[in-house]
Structure 1
């Protein structure tokens, strides 16, 4: 019987909503609607592509590690998810275009709008960012300093000098100057049946020995065409706009922040870890010793989830 109860509590709900005029997917473990009695929410801000399904195992682990007491949600980036048949990618095309909702600044405002619309103001937050999601969190802290943030965990943070990283040097010309050339192949891929797309995804991921199979379906969704195009558009802006580290925002929130840098991360070289560690010697800044890849969700979501739970357990003792 206990296993049956655990299985039920581990089964998430997926909601689709319009936020900032754009289709948004929200993956929810635990309470699906929040009210003033909810003391705490874990909110995952994804990397790019911002597909919440990638984080399922990570979220499930966090949810269980705290005894299923606190809801764990992940909010997609605007336009990175395949809308259900009853919805369009955008609710109001002119509104979405005016706010550039698919761009980097628009995605930051999109997350702030989501909090205003779906989370009671008094609910405390544990924000977990991955990759560019960490930059988004720092911007959220800067733009709305009254957010009730208990902790912000920055996993494999891309918060500075992205175009100068080894991966950035490869991807900047692709994303900024050549991405339109990729739209036709993406469109042709989107026409393939899902079974064939799934086979292609398995082939691409074939070299990952301990692949988390829960990432296959979200990856197939990315091949819808529009989702990948929106992710590439956001990526192009990342290369142009993520330049200097926001030291002032980090200083103002240092006691709330935990940084976790990869030891072999081509999006955030180890030198960036040494630089931030030097500049913030009192900060909680950690270097991965387990060899996790930047895209940890592919094979280490559960392990990273257990690790994050241990880091913040002491901060949640009274909640």
Structure 2
């Protein structure tokens, strides 16, 4: 069984900076799109590698602050940080089931979605794997301790390049977080989406979110 953990002799920051310098040409125009903690990663990239030429960064349902204090975080933090090993055995047992039975179980679990995207079913089945679950849960437990204070300094420094989309029904990033960032950065493009789209929009509203974000990107790029 494999687990993600940073090597002891090289910091995560140094490895990320080295990767960016090696694989991202210095003068390339970059359009960054992040979802959830992907938005936290974008802010870290913009802070650590300021030589990158980021022309726009779109932050969809940004989980960039007080992750463990959010409604969903309060539920998941004890599971991820203290009880995750108890989850491994059921996942091992589920992974032994025939593919047809796993497919039926996934369809049953997702049956109440308003508009299920069938393309997510094969991807979901591949997640019924103890290595995948162990790595994912370890990473998420680490995020609970890492994503705490919003990086207002980096946000203010790059505010003209940032587009934020918060969700009115987002349990990882409650509406109060939207109001808080609006107070600290009132001149920024910080939008509250009231369409009832869930945080895990890929399950049933992927196309709607893509259309919403691309329209904004095209409008912004026309003014550059």
Count of residue pairs the alignment pairs up: 224
Structure 1 position 313 matched with structure 2 position 222: no
Question: 1:158-197: CA deviations, max 9, x gaps?
Answer: 1111111111110010000000111111222222232222
Query: In the alignment, is the contact (CA less than 8 A) between 2:26 and 2:51 conserved in 1?
Result: no
User: What residue in structure 2 maps to residue 98 of structure 1?
Assistant: 7
Q: How well do the aligned residues superpose, as a CA RMSD in angstroms? A: 2.6
Q: 1:133 aligns with which of 13, 30, 38?
A: 38
Shift of 1:121: 2.9
1:250 aligns with 2:155: yes
Q: How does 1:106-145 map to 2 (within 5 A)?
A: 106=12, 115-145=20-50
The equivalent position to 2:192 in structure 1, one of 270, 273, 287, is: 287
Q: 1:119 Cα shift?
A: 3.8
Q: Is the 8 A contact 2:33 2:58 kept in 1?
A: yes
Distance of aligned partners of 1:181 and 1:192 in 2 relative to their CA distance in 1, 3 Å threshold: same
Shift in Å at residue 229 of structure 1?
1.1
> Which of the pair is proportionally richer in helix?
2
Question: 2: CA distance between counterparts of 1:100 and 1:173?
Answer: 30
Q: Which of the residues 171, 180, 183 maps onto 2:88? A: 183
TM-score by length of 1: 0.65
Relative contact order higher in (CA < 8 Å, ≥ 6 apart): 2
Deviation at 1:289, TM superposition (A): 1.9
Deviation for aligned residue 1:110: 6.7
C-alpha displacement at 1:221, in angstroms? 1.1
Tell me, what secondary structure is at the counterpart of 2:134?
helix
Q: Secondary structure at the match of 2:119?
A: helix
Instruction: Give the Å deviation of 1:203.
Output: 1.1
Q: Partners in 2 of 1:262 and 1:215 — Cα distance?
A: 22
Aligned to 2:72: 167
Q: Which residue of 2 is the match for residue 262 of structure 1?
A: 167
**Structure 1's 244 and 307: CA in aligned 2 closer, same or farther, altered over 3 A?**
same
- Give the TM-score normalised by the residue count of structure 2: 0.90
Structure 1 contact 189–225 (Cα < 8 Å) conserved: no
CA distance in 1, matches of 2:184, 2:113: 36
Give structure 2 stretches of 5+ with no counterpart.
Answer: none
